[in-house]
Amino acid sequence: MSTDIKNINREINKLKKKGEIQKAIEFCQTILMKEPNRSDLHVRLGDLYMDWHLDVYQAKQYIDEAIIQYQRASEVLIDNGEIYFKIGFAFFHKGELDRAINYFNLALKNGANKAQCHYMLANCLKKKDRYTDALEEADTALKYTFFRSSRIHYLKHRLLKALFFSSFKTKLQSNIELLLSYVFLPFDREAKKDFLQKLKIIVIFPDLVKAFYVSKIKDYEAGISYYTKMIDKVPGFTPLYCLLGDIYRAIGKHEEAIIEYKMARWIDSLCFSAYSGLVQAYEEIGDYDNAISTYLKFISIHPNNAILHSNIANLYFMKGEYEKAVSHYQSAITLNPKQDWTSIVAQTLGYVQQNVIKNTDAAIEAFQAAYLLTPKELDIYISLGSAFYDKEDYKNALIIYRRALELEPNNAKIHCNLGYLYWGMGELSEAVKEYELSIKNDPGYAIAHNNLGVIYLDDLAHIGQAANCFRAAINANPNYALAYYNLARSLSIKGEKVEAAKFFQIAYDINSITNEIDPMEIQERLNNLFE
């Protein structure tokens, strides 16, 4: 007799609340010994191994076991993109980025959440220093979110920051290389000697050339050796400590990197690359308190640096200190009011105001500021329209969405949002038209299929059409729990209770992974089906 997943989940959640993760794992393992082919339990066990409530070092030890569990589940659920996503997520945290990328792409092919997959692909590419490609993935992720995600925008900020720092280091390297070539130019001997001694380059010339070369080919151990030698020769030359810190960060030795950056800062309290390296190291290990503390010191030196204010705002947001985040986002906008980059900051501020602080007027103001900077950015129109909708200012929401269609007349997402707007206004015929246009422009847009089906669901004369819409949504996204749930509702109304029960159960099983619906609501409808 198969153990009820509802009771299993209840027991696991009870143990998790107590912080007894190991007991929850053992509980799952005990059941799997009796029922080894339970794919849902393999998934749940994998989740437990990956659970962030575990100590970080333990979590790393359990990653391999999590992967094993997910792969066992995938042998049964071969078309389940969410499982492949979980495997990719585990490989990402293991540091095997190429394998993670492969699984995220596999997840995309099998109907996993597109926004999540592209978001994680962006994270993988960021770690591989492919910042431009990562930004493209982040933008793609945003296209597939029905409501805009602050996490994705936070990542975009980090990528832009990485590009900024990368550019800074490139300039630093090119300047040093220029100085090295300068050695061989015709020049007054004594003046040249004095110049090079001041820069402390002449005594480290051979090792510096070697260090640049091995760093370029990512021979990090050799790079550490060369930079260490150079520091022994010229212990007061701060760029060497920063470059050594960069290598330690690249190989995951963040404690060593922090020591080097702090040494550079101790030598030169105004060293830009020391501060930038230090905050990146803290962020990468999730030490937001020290990252914020470092940013505050950094800002005290450069109070008018908009990027610093934006970055510390992101950290305050991650910590849940939203008012401080808002304050620094506003400072970033004020200090740099006319740059395209500022538009992204304004959009992020708008998302925080709309979705976290629930200040719709402030959100609209932020989105409008972004619009003035980048009036052809389609995402701004979508965000602004959503904010007007939340305010129940349907007139202005309609105006904004219509303007968006002038930019991209065949954009499925805009038509879908318009359908949602008309639906909220009670203009169902117009809503149906917009959803149909959305589907026409993108037949695989599952949300439009589902929402159109819900409109038909309220009309007994169109129950058959409703069911067809939900089936189309499922075909577009086989892991769309809400579509299975709504299909079950339509079948229940048609009196096909056995089929309805089957799809309620599928919705429940998928929802245990995707968390789209309150599971109690599904269970209640399933229990009441045959009463």
**What integer is the mean pLDDT of 90-103?**
89
pLDDT of residue 265: 85
Mean pLDDT for all residues in the chain: 80
pLDDT greater than 60 at residue 67? yes
pLDDT of residue 191: 44
pLDDT of residue 243: 82
Exposure on the CB side of residue 124, measured as CA atoms within 13 A: 26
**What integer is the mean pLDDT of 454-480?**
91
Give, for 280, the enclosing helix (H) or strand (E).
Answer: helix 272-284
Provide DSSP, 387-437: HHHHTT-HHHHHHHHHHHHHH-TT-HHHHHHHHHHHHHHT-HHHHHHHHHH
pLDDT of residue 146: 46
pLDDT greater than 50 at residue 56? no
pLDDT of residue 66: 80
Question: 323-346 pLDDT, tens per residue?
Answer: 998 999 889 888 887 777 788 888
pLDDT greater than 80 at residue 378? yes
pLDDT greater than 90 at residue 453? yes
Question: 400-412 pLDDT, tens per residue?
Answer: 999 999 999 999 9
Minimal CA–CA distance to 426: which of 403, 399, 392, 396? 392
**396 confidence band (pLDDT: 50, 70, 90):** very high
Minimal CA–CA distance to 59: which of 67, 68, 51, 70? 51
Cα-Cα-Cα-Cα dihedral of 450, 452, 457, 459, to 10°?
Answer: 180
Share of residues in the chain with pLDDT > 70 (%):
81
**175 confidence band (pLDDT: 50, 70, 90):** very low
Question: 101-153 pLDDT, tens per residue?
Answer: 999 999 998 888 888 898 899 989 988 888 778 888 888 887 776 444 556 76
The domains of the chain, with CATH numbers, are 5-126 (1.25.40.10), 306-374 (1.25.40.10)
pLDDT of residue 474: 94
Give the best-scoring range by mean pLDDT among 89-93, 102-106, 315-319.
Answer: 102-106
Q: How far is CA 159 from CA 150, 493, 509, in A?
A: 14, 49, 36
**What integer is the mean pLDDT of 358-379?**
88
pLDDT of residue 478: 92
**What integer is the mean pLDDT of 39-55?**
69
Question: 484-502 pLDDT, tens per residue?
Answer: 999 999 999 988 999 999 9
pLDDT greater than 70 at residue 270? yes
Q: How far apart are CA 102 and CA 90, in angstroms?
A: 12
Minimal CA–CA distance to 82: which of 102, 40, 110, 62? 110
**pTM assigned to the model:** 0.57
CA angle 336, 339, 340 (to 5 degrees): 135
pLDDT greater than 60 at residue 186? no
